[in-house]
Structure 1
Amino acid sequence: MNWATFLMRQVRIITHTDPTLVANYLPFPIVGLQLTWPNARFFATKQGKSPGQIQKVKPNRDKQEVEIKQRMTVSALAQAMNKDFDHVFEALLNTSLDLDSLEPHTILEEKWIKEVVKRSGMKYKWAKLVETKERENKDIQPRPPPDPSVLVPRPPVVTIMGHVDHGKTTLLDSLRKSQVAAGEAGGITQHIGAFLVQLPSGEKITFLDTPGHAAFSAMRARGTLATDIVILVVAADDGVMKQTIESIQHAKKAQVPIIVSVNKCDKPQADPAGVKQQLLAHDVVCEDYGGDVQAIHVSALKGDNLLELAEATVTLAEVLELKGDPTGLVEGTIIESRTDKGKGPVTTAIVQRGTLKKGCILVAGKTWAKVRFLFNENNCTVKEAGPSTAVEIVGWKDLPSAGEEIIEVESEKRAREVVEWRCYQEEQDKQKEDLQVIESKQQEHHESYKKEREPLAHLSWRQRKSALYKANRKLMAMRPSEKVEPQDLCLPLIVKGDVDGSVEAILSILDNYDAHDQCQLEVVHFGIGDISENDLNLAQAFSGTIYGFNVGVNKSIQQMATKKGVILKMHKVIYKLIDDLKEELSSKLPPCMKENVIGEASVLTVFDVTVGKKKVPVAGCRVQKGQLDRKMKFRLVRGQNVVWEGCLTALKHYKDDVQVVKTGMECGLSVAQDIDFKPGDEIVCYEGIESPQSISWDPAF
Structure 2
Amino acid sequence: MYKNLLFRRLPFRFIKKECFTQFSELKSFNSNHVITRHLSVSIVHCKKRKPEEEKVVLSNGRSSIRYSPKAGKEVVGIWRNMTVQDIANVLKKDVDHVLKALEFADKTSDTNYTKKTIIYNPQIIRDVVKISGFRFKLVPNPDQEIEEEENKDAVPAPPAAPEALRPRPPVVCVMGHVDHGKTTLLDALRDTSVVDQEFGGITQHIGAFEVQLSSGEKVTFLDTPGHAAFTAMRSRGAHATDVVVLVVAADDGVMEQTVESIRMAREANVPILVAINKMDKPGVNIERILRALAQHGVVCEAVGGDVQAIPVSALKKQNLDTLVEALTLQAQLMDLKADPGGFVEGVVIEAQLDPRTGKQATVLVQRGTLRKGCVIVAGSGWAKVRMLNSAEGRPVLEAPPSTPVAVLGWRELPAAGDTVLEVASEKRASEVLKWRHNQRMKEKQELDRAAIEAKEAAHREQYKAMLSRKRAMGRFKLKPDGPRQKMIQHDDHPTLSVLVKGDVDGSVEAILDILETYDEHDRVRLDLVHYGVGPVTPNDIEIAEAFSAVVYAFNVECPSSLTVEAKKKNIAIKKYNIIYKLVDDVKEEITARIPKRQEEEVLGEANVLQLFQVSEGKRKVPVAGCRCLKGNLVRNALYRVIREQQQVYEGKLVSMKHLKEEANTIKRDMECGLRFEDATFEVKPGDTVICYKLVDASDRTTWDPGF
TM-score band w.r.t. shorter chain: 0.7 to 0.9
- Kindly provide the amino acid, as one letter, of the partner of residue 650 in structure 1: S
- Asked if 1:680 corresponds to 2:686, the answer is yes
How has the CA–CA distance of structure 1 residues 454 and 661 changed in structure 2, closer, same or farther, with 3 Å as cutoff? same
Which residue of the partner structure matches residue 692 of structure 1? 698
Give the letter for the 1:417 counterpart.
E
Partner of 1:668: 673
TM-score, with length taken from structure 1: 0.82
Report the Cα distance in structure 2 between the residues aligned to 1:283 and 1:415, rounded to whole angstroms: 45
Residue 338 of structure 1: how far off its partner (Å): 0.5
Q: 1:19 to 1:221 in 2, by over 3 A?
A: farther
Aligned to 1:88: none
2:14–2:47 Cα contact (<8 Å) kept:
no
CA positional deviation for 1:666 = 2.1
Structure 1 residue 685: Cα displacement: 0.9
| Contact kept in structure 2, 1:346 and 1:395, CA below 8 Å | yes
| Residue 290 of structure 2: aligned partner | 276
Pairwise CA distance, 1:33: 11
1:142-153 superposed matches below 5 A: 142-153=156-167
Aligned to 2:356: 342
Q: Which has the larger radius of gyration?
A: 2
CA–CA distance in structure 2, aligned partners of residues 632 and 69 of structure 1: 75
2:515 match? 510
Q: Which residue of 1 aligns with 2:406?
A: 392
State the match for 1:97 in structure 2.
Answer: none
| The 10-residue stretch of structure 1 (408-417 or 171-180) with the greater mean CA deviation from structure 2 | 408-417
Q: Deviations over 1:517-564 (max 9, x none)?
A: 212111111100001111111111221111110101121121121222
Equivalent of 1:413 in 398, 419, 427? 427
Q: Mean alpha-carbon deviation: is it higher for 546-555 or for 619-628?
A: 619-628
The CA deviation at 1:70 is 4.7
Match of 2:103 in 1: none
**Contact 1:65–1:125, Cα closer than 8 Å, also in 2:** no
Determine if the alignment matches structure 1 residue 248 to structure 2 residue 254: no
Residue 122 to residue 533, structure 1, CA distance change in 2 (3 Å): farther
Structure 1 residue 571, shift from structure 2 partner: 0.3
1:230 matched residue in structure 2:
244
Equivalent position of 2:380 in the other structure = 366
The residue that corresponds to 2:547 in the other structure is 542
- Residues 1:314 and 2:328 are matched in the alignment: yes
Paired letter, 2:567: T
Is the CA contact (8 Å cut-off) linking 2:15 and 2:45 kept in structure 1?
Answer: no
**1:170 and 2:220 correspond:** no
Give the AA of the match of 1:629. V
What one-letter code is carried by the residue in structure 2 that aligns with 1:325?
A: D
Partner residue in 1 for 2:303: 289
Matched, 1:187 2:201: yes
Superposed counterparts of 1:184-583, under 5 Å: 184-458=198-472, 463-466=474-477, 469-470=478-479, 472=480, 474-475=481-482, 477-479=483-485, 485=490, 487-583=492-588
Determine if contact 2:15/2:46 at 8 Å carries over to the other structure: no
SS of residue in 1 equivalent to 2:639: strand
- Cα gap change, 1:446 to 1:478, in 2 (>3 Å): closer
Could you give the per-residue CA deviations for residues 326-353 of structure 1, whole angstroms, max 9, x where no partner exists?
1111100111101112322111111111
Matches of 1:484 and 1:356 in 2, distance apart?
58
Does 2:604 match 1:599?
yes
2:606 aligned partner, one-letter code: A
Classify 1:608/1:33 alpha carbon distance in 2 versus 1 (closer, same or farther; 3 Å).
farther
User: Residues 341, 19 of structure 1: CA spacing in aligned structure 2 closer, same or farther, 3 A cutoff?
Assistant: farther
Which AA in structure 2 matches 1:406? Answer: V
3-state SS, counterpart of residue 491 of structure 1: strand
Residue identity matched to 1:162: G
Letter in 2 for 1:250: M
Contact kept in structure 1, 2:248 and 2:277, CA below 8 Å: yes
**What per-residue deviation string (whole Å, max 9, x for no partner) do you get for residues 392-434 of structure 1?**
1111110001100011111222111111111111111211221
CA distance in 2 between counterparts of 1:451 and 1:238 reads 63
| 1:32/1:57 contact within 8 Å kept | no
Looking at structure 2, the residues matched to 430 and 204 of structure 1 have their Cα atoms a distance apart, in angstroms, of: 45
Residue 171 to residue 597, structure 1, CA distance change in 2 (3 Å): same
Compute the displacement of 1:134 (Å).
3.5
SS in 2 for 1:371: strand
Number of the residue aligned with 1:613: 618
| Cα distance in 2 for residues equivalent to 1:31 and 1:122 | 27
Residues 627-656 of structure 1, C-alpha deviations (whole Å, 9 max, x = no match): 111122212223443322222111122322
The RMSD of aligned alpha carbons is 3.3
Gaps of 5+ in 2: 1-11, 20-30, 37-43, 51-56, 79-124
Aligned to 1:631: 636
Distance 2:346 2:671 in 1: 88
Is the 2:180–2:247 contact (alpha carbons within 8 Å) kept by the matching residues of 1?
yes
Question: Do the aligned partners of residues 486 and 390 (structure 1) sit closer, same or farther apart at CA in structure 2, a change above 3 Å counting?
Answer: closer
Separation (CA, whole Å) in 1 of partners of 2:476 and 2:32: 31
Task: Output the CA distance in 2 between the equivalents of 1:71 and 1:541.
Answer: 48
CA distance in structure 1 between the aligned counterparts of 2:136 and 2:638, rounded to whole angstroms: 78
Q: Secondary structure at the match of 1:145?
A: coil
CA distance in 2, matches of 1:435, 1:317: 51
Instruction: In structure 2, give the amino acid aligned to 1:176.
Output: R
Note the alpha carbon deviations across 1:606-633, whole angstroms, 9 max, x for none.
2211111221111222222111111222
Task: Give 2:7's aligned residue.
Answer: none
Counterpart code for 2:500 = V
CA distance in 2, matches of 1:10, 1:300: 104
1:619-658 → structure 2 map (5 Å cutoff) = 619-658=624-663
- 1:57 and 1:148 map into 2 onto residues whose CA distance is 91
Q: Which residue of 2 aligns with 1:87?
A: none
Shift of 1:452: 4.2
Letter in 2 for 1:679: P
Residues 128 and 282 (structure 1), Cα distance of their counterparts in 2 relative to 1, 3 Å cut? closer
User: Are residues 19 and 143 of structure 1, via their aligned partners in 2, closer, same or farther at CA, if it must alter by over 3 Å?
Assistant: farther
Deviation at 1:515, TM superposition (A): 2.7
Question: Which AA in structure 2 matches 1:678?
Answer: K
CA contact (8 A) 2:69 2:130 kept: no
Query: Per-residue deviation at 1:124?
Result: 7.8
Distance 1:371 1:64, change over 3 A: farther
Q: CA deviation at 1:391?
A: 0.9
CA deviations on 1:138-172 (whole Å, 9 max, x unpaired) are: 11211111111121211110001011111111111
Shift of 1:241: 1.1
Q: Distance in 1 between matches of 2:484 and 2:228?
A: 52
Q: Distance in 2 between matches of 1:19 and 1:185?
A: 85
Contact 2:14–2:45 under 8 Å retained in 1: no
- What secondary structure does 1:522 align onto? strand
Shift of 1:47: 6.4
